[in-house]
Amino acid sequence: MDEPIKTGEKIRRFASFYRPHWKLFLLDMSAALVMAGIDLIYPLAVRFALNELLPNQEYNFFFMLILGLVGMYALRSALSYVVIYWGHTLGVRIEADMRHAVFGHLQKLSFRFYDNNRTGQLMSRVTNDLFEITELAHHGPEDLFISSVTIVGAILILWGVNWQLSLFLLLLVPLTLLYTITQRRRMTKASIRVKEKMAGINSDIESSISGARVAKAFTNEGHEVEKFSKGNQRFRSAKQDFYKAMATFHSGMEFFINIFGVAVIGIGGYFILRGYMNTVDMLTFSLYVITFLQPIRRLTMFVEHYASGMAGFTRFLELLNIKPEIEDAPDAVEIGRVKGDISFKDVTFSYHDDQHPVLAHLDLGIPAGKTLAVVGPSGGGKTTLCHLIPRFYETQSGMITIDGRDIRTMTLDSLRRNI
């Protein structure tokens, strides 16, 4: 059994798909960063207006500040368009690159791989498993970066307003993050199970549709329905487990999010009674808690995107990590046009194991320009002979030569082009 792919390796390979689109990625992150900065400025502007401008009757300055805030939020609206449209475009392009990579890899795999993997399973890997990649590719780095900037920025600003209350809020952050990380793992495992069951359903549908004529000819429709029902039930159970994990995560996060506001009211009220802060500072804290909660909600969405997206990416990597069974030898050479003398020398081949060979110690010579008719019952090895010459399968032992040269010393492309 292959070893599971480590998280660090998955993240490194996921990040590599951003390289061709780094300009678009930089545009998205820059716009999101300015939006976060605007969100941090607003509570400070309100505090300045209430503490300085209105008490000192500086109404001209006050209305200039209001106009500035209007312009600031107009800019934020424009940047929001950039983040939503171009950010999702980035995700779509990365998803397309991944799908192109996995499809190209499938072209390199041998016939034996396709013998052992059903079409429905492979279709699910190329399509369903990558659906959530767009959201993860767009929101993942953006949510992590902007959430970190906003939380750190808000804490630093609030520390200057009242460090005691800021310290208490700061203590709640690790608890929230710990809960997030714990539930993320559970959701990721549940999401992988959903994708596995979805692949099973696709495989059952593909098998049933392709064999529909046979099933009808033998009045076997009931068996096909029963077989599909079992797979459908497994898929339903897997999705219920995922939604249970998601409900646990969201309900817990709702508690942590709301407790921030309760903490500000409760502890802030106590500090006002003791003379440690005034009502304007408490209002500033309340506004920053709203700003503070937005990145926490972003992290909540990130966990959901990560669970679904990384589950699909894991299955994508598992397929991409399958090494082609048949490749060019290090010293393989490109061949030109060949004469066409084909020779099988003591060739033994089996599809599944060495105990049941289709061909055993076969010696056969086919001179160039001659026609050879191979006649025999189904399963006798006629098609196998044709598959071994272009190396669609590899022999267990023996050698196949063309013009006296071992076909394993030729590049696959030039060998198959000649054939």
| Domains of the chain listed by start with CATH number | 7-320 (1.20.1560.10), 342-418 (3.40.50.300)
Collapsing DSSP states into helix, strand and coil, what is residue 333? strand
Lowest-confidence pick of 29-33, 198-202, 309-313: 198-202
pLDDT value for 353? 64
Q: Are the C-beta atoms of residues 362 and 347 closer than 8 Å to each other?
A: yes
pTM of model > 0.85: no
Lowest-confidence pick of 25-34, 228-237, 338-347: 228-237
Residue 320 parent element (H or E): helix 279-320
pLDDT surpasses 60 at 2: no
With CA atoms as reference, report the closest residue to 365 among 389, 387, 384, 383: 389
pLDDT surpasses 90 at 78: yes
Q: What letter represents residue 369's amino acid? A: G
The dihedrals phi and psi of 376, each to the nearest 5 degrees, come to 175, 175
pLDDT surpasses 90 at 74: yes
Axis-axis angle for helices 59-106, 133-161 (nearest 10)? 150
pLDDT value for 27? 93
pLDDT value for 64? 92
Contacts of 115 (CB under 8 A, 6+ apart): 351
pLDDT value for 21? 92
With CA atoms as reference, report the closest residue to 212 among 199, 225, 198: 225
The dihedrals phi and psi of 405, each to the nearest 5 degrees, come to -110, 135
pLDDT value for 337? 84
Residues 148 and 5: their CA atoms lie apart, in Å, by 27
Tokens of 192: 């992988």
DSSP character string of 4-72: PPPHHHHHHHHHHTTGGGHHHHHHHHHHHHHHHHHHHHHHHHHHHIIIIITTTT-HHHHHHHHHHHHHH
Beta-bridge mates of residue 410:
333
